[in-house]
Chains A and B, each alone.
Chain A
Amino acid sequence: MSQDTLFDKVWDLHKVANLPGGSDQIFIGLHLIHEVTSPQAFGALKDKNLKVKFPQRTVATVDHIVPTDNQSRPFKDNLAEQMINTLEKNCIEHKIKFFNIGSGNQGIVHVVAPELGLTQPGMTIACGDSHTSTHGAFGSIAFGIGTSQVRDVLASQTIAMNKLKVRQIWCENKLSTGIYAKDLVLHIINQLGVKAGVGFAYEFAGPAISELSMEERMTICNMSIEGGARCGYINPDEKTFSYIKDKLFSPKNENWENAVKWWKSLVSTDNCIYDDVFKLDASKVEPTITWGITPGQSIGINQKIPSLNEMHPNDQFIAGEAYEYMGFKPGQSIKNTPIDVCFIGSCTNGRISDLRVAARVLEHNKVAKNIKAFVVPGSEKVAKEAKEEGLDKIFIKAGFQWREPGCSMCLAMNSDKLIGNQVSASSSNRNFKGRQGSPNGRTLLMSPAMVAAASITGKVSDVRDFINK
């Protein structure tokens, strides 16, 4: 059993009680809500005649259903309008802070909370969204919950949960030029598999992790859940503190010193005990792309799609399904696979640094003929910053559509969808069957830089050929 890791310290601090059934009652320091997984939770509160216990510990925004082309109200989609309306009403009724469209602070919940300084080390953070693991980049213990648990957090600020085991993922050396956090996390998931993280929290550590910026660390932790771990985190350091400093909700004045002192005390102790340790060499990671229907089915740009006999027997069934669905054959190269749609955005890769990297690749280039390419900033703040830097103009000049902030085609709850069996090069996090809105649409996950490269050539390309010119 793990001991003295950041996870242990934060878990123990937030433990309210041992429940009779044997699980722990855990206090949730920050509760984030959005329009998709909260309405039924508020409905359940009403049914049980309960109130929101600590309204100031919950913050709301709207992201999943928002259109990214025209955000004027009422939305064209009646159901989407009904959902935002329900969230607005619930937030007013229960006195919950809500960052609505036009507030300057709306956006994807996992982009917004860090940029507002709401996400801080040592907190427990829960949200009705599996990518809540993103916030672990700051050394918080953050995880996705379902709607019944959203109800429990609203009603009691606590949930019933079993403590997770802790696996350290030690990333030796550094990523090479043209290789990004997305490549690293896809590689990790490929190496460990999509179910290895079940029952675990992942601690990402090592020189390659320390080297990453806060936004890159968010990309890593964001995809913990794709490896089966509902929680992933990185020990906080000076980069963490300087990112948080002077944000809207960060501690101020003398509180700042106290906060930093406390945050430093949370770091996994040198002689702490992990339930498991996995080591890898980050310098060996190549630009990584998924070829299948789980985020674990990925290869380096110069590798070939693996055949069944190269795989563990447990991975063969889903691989067979993937060949059929994707229309790929074992032994085929992923490089030069024709693309139809390019999507840059999502809680994985919709932050300002992602847009900067993609814009650098696109500058003085044009999107290939017949490619639909669009970029969806992760938040209103990201959009504003990008415009100030002129990134929007670079994207538009290259042939990208510049959209309004939201989750968009990561999960296609708005009108941004694949059509038929189109292939997308996507900076998002899931390549599941039907994920991007068409029951036979196909998704290739990759870094935003690789999406930009694919948009120029119209096929899967090595971004290093563009940046090393």
Chain B
Amino acid sequence: MSVKFKPPIGKFSQINGKCISLVGDDIDTDRIIPARFLKCIDFDSLGESVFDDDRKTLKGNHPFDLETNKGSSILIVNSNFGCGSSREHAPQALMRWGIKAIIGESFADIFYSNCIAIGIPCFTLPKESIKKIQKYLNIKNLFLEIDLFESTAKAEEFKFDLEIKETSKKMFLSGEWDATLKLLENKALIENKLNDLPYIKFNNN
């Protein structure tokens, strides 16, 4: 990829970008990034391999290959997106391809937490609204302005009230999605907890 990848940093409340639609339920993380690409000790080169098997099968007609989708950053998906393996390589590959936010009918649990942990907000919309956006995207490009604080997505033609878990929303607005340092602030509480757990004592053989 020509543009150097810049990961998100700190707090943010606005994501503006072009939408790309990927139709299908239960799209698993093996499809997002096949296991052979997990043989790496960093995430740097994953962007080009995103959906590798699906793209090869569709010979250039996969949404991630279409010229018209170039430069997209808001992914529109259907239900249970990201089911299966816990591999963070999946959202990392999407992010490195250019995805900054995902709007879908529903997400798998581990995929969702991985997205939050690396700074990709995932929003939900009812099935009908997703269908409406996907139908529109069949005909023309759509640019959305996502306001995290208001939880809205706006375009000239549309306005949607997005759903996002309150805890996730706060994490992006405060920058706490990058959790490590926040967790370490409770150093004393963590040490107390370790000393309080019954099994720590009786496993001290």
Contacts from A to B (Cβ < 8 Å): 13-14, 16-17, 19-23, 25, 27, 29, 36-37, 39-40, 43-44, 48, 50, 53-54, 64-65, 77, 79-80, 82-83, 86, 120, 122-123, 128-130, 132, 143-149, 151-152, 155-162, 194-195, 197-199, 225, 228-230, 249, 251-253, 255-256, 258-259, 262, 294, 314, 317-318, 321, 411-413, 430, 432-435, 437, 439-440
- Residues from chain A with a CB closer than 8 A to the CB of B138 are none
- Asked whether A434 lies within 8 Å of B53 as measured between CB atoms, the reply is yes
* Closest CB in chain B relative to A97 CB, distance in Å: 13
B83 part of interface (Cβ distance < 8 Å): yes
Chain B residues whose C-beta falls within 8 Å of the C-beta of A155 in the assembled complex: 180, 183-184
Interface of chain B residues 176 through 202 with chain A (CB within 8 A): 176, 179-184, 186, 189-190, 193-194, 197-202
C-alpha spacing A253/B204, complex, angstroms: 11
B203 contacts chain A at the CB level, 8 A cutoff = yes
Do B42 and A255 have beta carbons less than 8 Å apart? Answer: no
How many A-B residue pairs have C-beta atoms within 8 angstroms? Tell me: 232
* C-alpha gap A43/B57 in the complex (Å): 34
Contact yes or no, B88 A21, CB < 8 A: no
Question: How far, in whole Å, are A229 and B56 apart by their CA atoms in the complex?
Answer: 31
- For the complex of A and B, list the 6 residue pairs with the smallest distance between their C-beta atoms, beginning with the closest: A146-B88, A146-B114, A148-B117, A144-B86, A21-B170, A439-B53
> B56 near A20 (CB under 8 angstroms)?
no
20 inter-chain pairs at a CB distance below 8 angstroms, sorted by A residue, are A19-B182, A23-B167, A27-B194, A29-B199, A40-B43, A83-B41, A146-B87, A148-B118, A160-B179, A194-B80, A195-B26, A230-B110, A251-B202, A262-B198, A411-B85, A412-B35, A413-B38, A433-B31, A435-B35, A439-B56
Q: Which of B60-112 contact A (CB under 8 A)?
A: 78-80, 83-89, 91, 106-110
Contact residue among A130, A252, A411 (Cβ-Cβ distance under 8 Å from B110): A130
- B39 on the A face (CB < 8 A): yes
Who on chain A is nearest to B39 by CB?
Answer: A79
Instruction: List chain A residues, Cβ under 8 A from B198.
Output: 122, 258-259, 262
Query: In the assembled complex, which residues on chain A have CB atoms less than 8 Å from the CB atom of B39?
Result: 36, 65, 77, 79-80, 83, 413
The answer to whether A149 touches B117 (Cβ under 8 A) is yes
Are the CB atoms of B25 and A318 closer together than 8 Å?
Answer: yes
Q: A-facing mask of B24-63, CB < 8 A → 1, else 0? A: 1110101100111011111100000000011011000000
Smallest Cβ-Cβ distance to A57: which chain B residue:
B194
Bound-complex Cα distance A238 to B179 (A): 40
Q: Is the CB of B113 within 8 A of A149?
A: yes
Q: Does B129 contact A (CB under 8 A)?
A: no
Query: Which residues of B lie under 8 Å from residue A147 when comparing CB positions?
Result: 88-89, 114
Across the interface, do A228 and B108 meet the contact criterion of CB distance under 8 Å? yes
Q: Please measure, in the bound complex, the distance between the C-alpha atom of A158 and the C-alpha atom of B113, giving whole angstroms.
A: 14
Bound-complex Cα distance A252 to B108 (A): 40
20 A-B pairs besides A40-B88, A146-B91, A195-B26 with CB distance below 8 A are A14-B193, A20-B176, A27-B193, A36-B39, A39-B42, A80-B39, A146-B87, A146-B118, A147-B89, A151-B180, A156-B183, A160-B176, A194-B83, A228-B80, A249-B203, A412-B35, A412-B36, A413-B38, A430-B85, A432-B28
Residues of B within 8 A of A22 (CB): 166-167, 170
Contact between chains at B86 and A129 (CB < 8 Å): yes
B30 near A432 with CB under 8 A, answer yes
- CA of A233 to CA of B79, assembled, Å: 26
Q: Give every chain B residue within 8 A of A229 (Cβ-Cβ).
A: 109
B165 within 8 A of A: yes
Q: Are B106's CB and A159's CB within 8 A?
A: no
- Complex CA–CA separation, A123 to B110 (angstroms): 20
Q: A37-B87, A40-B43 known; A156 and B31 CB under 8 Å? A: no
